[in-house]
Amino acid sequence: MYLYMYGTYELIYIINSNLSEENIHQTILKYSTLLADNKGYSIESTNKGLRRFAYAMRNGYEEAQDGYYIQVDFRGTNITIEAVKKDMNISEEVLRYNLYRKL
């Protein structure tokens, strides 16, 4: 039997603004589902809206001038964190992300 240490985390990620409204909602749902499937719970997702960057961010070959900021507060384990990091590192929808452990 494994014991998992749950911690409280805050995830902030930026979705490329060049996506359609439907794709943005699908991306938010994708990460909420990913958290729930990997032992994450008490998931609260907040769309902070479209914001302009101080400088252009490059995602692949294109540059983005603005993006949708999404904040997610959740409880999870190291399994949850590794799954989120792995998926966000290869995602083309997500420009940047920051994951913090709350004390």
CATH of the domain at 53: 3.30.70.60
Higher pLDDT, 63 or 11: 11
- Domain count for the chain: 1
What CA–CA distance (Å, rounded) separates 3 from 27?
Answer: 31
Residue 5: what pLDDT? Answer: 82
71 conformational bin, left if phi > 0, alpha if psi -120 to 50, beta if neither? beta
Residue 3: what pLDDT? Answer: 66
- Residue 2 counted as domain residue: no
Instruction: Give the domain range for residue 70.
Output: 7-101
Q: What does each C-alpha distance from 67 to 1, 6, 14, 24, 46 come to in angstroms?
A: 43, 31, 6, 10, 14
Query: For the residues 67-94, what does the mean pLDDT come to?
Result: 94
User: Does position 66 have pLDDT exceeding 80, yes or no?
Assistant: yes
- Residue 17 counted as domain residue: yes
**pLDDT-derived band at 60, boundaries 50, 70, 90:** confident
- pLDDT tens-digit series, residues 15-33: 999 999 999 999 999 999 9
The percent of the chain in helix, strand and coil, each rounded to the nearest 5, is 30, 50, 20
Q: Is the pTM of this model over 0.75?
A: yes
